[in-house]
Amino acid sequence: MADFKDIAERLAGIVGHEYIKTDPEAVNDYVVDKMEPKAVLFPENTQQVSQVVEIANSENLSIVVRGSGSKMAMGNPPKSLALVICTSRMNKMIDVDTANLTITVEAGVKFRDIQARLATQEDRCYLPLEDLSTEADEEICSDRSHSGSFLPIDPSSADTATIGGVIAANSSGPRRLLYNLPRDMILGVRLVTPTGAIAGAGGKTAKNVSGYDTSKLVVGSMGSLGILCEMTLKLLPLPEKMETMLISFDSFKDASELADRVFNSRLIPAAIEVMNRTTYTSLKVEDAPEFEPDQYVVAVGLEAFHKAVNRMVNEIGKMAGTLGARSQASFEGHAHQRFWLAVSDLDSTLAGKFLGLVKAKLNYPILEWKGIFEFSDRILSENKIEHAILAHAGSGICLISLLLDQGDSASMAKAVKVMGQLLGHSHEKGGNLVIAKAPTDVKRNLKIWGEQGTDFIIMKRLKEQLDPLGIMSPGRFVGGL
């Protein structure tokens, strides 16, 4: 390997001297699990990324990709770290085609900026109506013209995350119940492979591939297979009405029964979240001052036509009443959006208060959700570990945050033990547990990606074929890939 000063000069020749950081004090802000990179680069486009990766591959320099940093706590500590490639300058919206409900963006575009741009865009084409009773230049359109569109993805840290980080982490939230996962919104991608080649897959239409849809391969790969630079995604028109219902119960039995009754009805909510009181109070909801949370709170998100939302509010309210709900409240429009943004930002809210925060994401068959919630709540309470618990009731996902102080070694030891028990229970029920956030020193005692599945063999082969030198996020993914 050449002297790193010479390599840094070559890299600076690609991105510009002002867009590379090598000073120890400057690169300290880009530490990954206490590992400091030799240099941090800020390429402007896909071509610059390609040239940088080509040099890294020839010099065997390990790379970790970073957007806003909202997902950097995920994964194992890297085996090595030479370069951090930051996508913050790759922030262009290349093609906003709301007439065809697609958008093409670079990886560094903030998710919130995409939503803000789309909300102001027309999402309906005017249709010329030419017949005997209509002038040729006269046009008609539905009442929903000019209403805006949106990207139907509901990631964590939606206020700060970049779209590249969202896709690379396959990050989703409560409203995946209605809108599915980020991978379902991908139409096409453009990425830089570990050798520096620029590759593309998919396109602007839904039926644009024959055989394997390889654009999905990079979704959730955590930067281990290449650097995602551009992507084309599906859009949807903004719902006519958006409303949130909050319902509190003094027992989990009643709270979970409400969720089950909704699922067994013909109603189609956007989200149904069941949480403990600690989770709700951490959200700091200000739009429902009359609402009184009890031990458990059910939050129901509704996004549809006016009549559909009104019907769902009415029927769910009646269901809650028959189950003895202690308090109910609802709000719509901007208040609805503020609430779900607070849910999305819960991780950062808790991390700012509890420096030893350990967060786990449990997945399991949907029918097991009540048993998983009760088991988790009980075992954490028995171990006297303060916790926030939030279940995506209809998606088979439960998020658990252990609210710990960083210097409390006794509580950390208990947390490691409890996480092992939760992993074992989830695996027994056909699921798994992934550690989404934990102090670096604690990570070494945890199975960050849970138990390996039978698909690990295929994942390993793909990694070996696409990244034979292992320079992309080395060791951070499943099984140390």
**Within-domain flag for 328:** yes
Query: How distant, in Å, are the alpha carbons of 40, 55, 294 from that of 196?
Result: 17, 8, 55
Structure token digits, residue 389 = 């618990």
Q: Do 263 and 394 share a structural domain?
A: no
- Domain CATH code at residue 272: 3.30.70.3450
Distance CA 280, CA 388 (A): 9
- Domain CATH code at residue 72: 3.30.43.10
Q: Do 203 and 99 share a structural domain?
A: yes
- The phi, psi pair for 344, rounded to 5°, reads -60, -35
**Within-domain flag for 406:** yes
Domain end call among 316, 344, 372: 344
- The two most distant CA atoms of the chain are separated, in Å, by 82
The torsion region of residue 214 among left (phi > 0), alpha (psi -120 to 50) and beta comes to alpha
Comparing CA positions, the residue from 207, 202, 254 lying closest to residue 228 is 202
**pTM for the model:** 0.89
**CB-side neighbour CA atoms (13 Å) of 441:** 8
Q: Do 102 and 70 share a structural domain?
A: no
Domain end call among 207, 237, 267: 237
Q: What residues make up the domain containing 111? A: 93-128+139-237
- Domain CATH code at residue 232: 3.30.465.10
Q: Which parts of 284-432 fold into alpha helices (H)? A: 306-322, 334-344, 346-353, 369-382, 409-428
Q: Name the domain count of the chain.
A: 4
Question: Measured on CA atoms in the order 56, 57, 58, 61, is the torsion positive or negative?
Answer: positive
Q: Do 232 and 107 share a structural domain?
A: yes
Comparing CA positions, the residue from 438, 381, 430, 450 lying closest to residue 412 is 438
DSSP 3-state assignment of 186?
strand
**Within-domain flag for 69:** yes
Per-residue pLDDT of the chain (481 residues; tens, 9 = 90+): 678 899 999 999 999 999 999 998 999 999 999 999 999 999 999 999 999 999 999 999 999 999 999 999 999 999 999 999 999 999 999 999 998 999 999 999 999 999 999 988 765 444 443 443 444 444 444 444 447 899 999 999 999 999 999 999 999 999 999 999 999 999 999 999 999 999 988 777 766 666 677 788 889 999 999 999 999 999 999 999 999 999 999 999 999 999 999 999 999 999 999 999 999 999 999 998 899 999 999 999 999 999 999 999 999 999 999 999 999 999 999 999 999 999 999 999 999 999 999 999 999 999 999 999 999 999 999 999 999 999 999 899 999 999 999 888 888 999 999 999 999 999 999 999 999 999 999 999 999 999 998 889 999 999 999 999 999 999 999 988 8
Distance CA 22, CA 35 (A): 14
Q: Do 179 and 154 share a structural domain?
A: yes
Q: Do 233 and 144 share a structural domain?
A: yes
- Domain CATH code at residue 364: 3.30.70.2740
Q: Do 221 and 165 share a structural domain?
A: yes
Q: Do 80 and 195 share a structural domain?
A: no
Domain end call among 318, 344, 370: 344
Q: Do 186 and 222 share a structural domain?
A: yes
Compute the residue count for the chain: 481
Q: Using an 8 Å Cβ cutoff, are 363 and 174 in contact?
A: no
Q: Do 210 and 164 share a structural domain?
A: yes
Q: Do 271 and 322 share a structural domain?
A: yes
Q: Do 178 and 108 share a structural domain?
A: yes
**CB-side neighbour CA atoms (13 Å) of 243:** 20
